[in-house]
Amino acid sequence: MKKLVYTLMLLVGFATVSFAQEANEIVVTEGSEELVNSKRDGEYTFVLNGKTEGDISGAAAHYTHYFKVVFEESKQTVKLEMIENDARARAVIMRFLVASGVRHADVDGKIIPINEFMTNHLQ
């Protein structure tokens, strides 16, 4: 009986750890309606949980020709201001997100792969 209890505790522990890691891989958006406005205005706001100033500034350093990045670590909020608001520059947003460790996007409470996010909301 003890082995069964310990085995279940171990499995729950692994499941918890793997879920916690996955949460760091999800960018939270302000929703599909706001993404349409952002696409028009060239200003995006995302929430990247579990990131530090070093994580974001390191990833953003490669994309300074495309957008300006402001990261508020206390709120885990990233604000992007496009230098040129065109399809190519918006595609670079996806490269920035991937460089920041993002693999999925939360749009209106639905988790989608980052490639689908780019195709449906950035292009």
| Cα angle for residues 56, 92, 46 (degrees, 5° grid) | 50
DSSP 71: E
Strand spans (E) along the chain: 26-28, 43-48, 67-72, 77-82, 104-107, 110-113
pLDDT of residue 22: 72
| Cα angle for residues 59, 52, 97 (degrees, 5° grid) | 35
Q: Alpha-carbon distance 23 to 20, whole Å?
A: 5
Extract the tokens encoding 9.
């505790």
pLDDT tens column, 42-69: 999 999 998 889 889 999 999 999 999 9
CA–chain centroid gap for 100, Å, is: 7
Q: Alpha-carbon distance 66 to 92, whole Å?
A: 7
* pTM of model > 0.85: no
Can you give the pLDDT of all 123 residues of the chain as single tens digits?
655 444 545 444 444 434 444 777 999 999 999 999 999 999 999 999 988 898 899 999 999 999 999 999 999 999 999 999 999 999 999 999 999 999 999 999 999 999 999 999 988
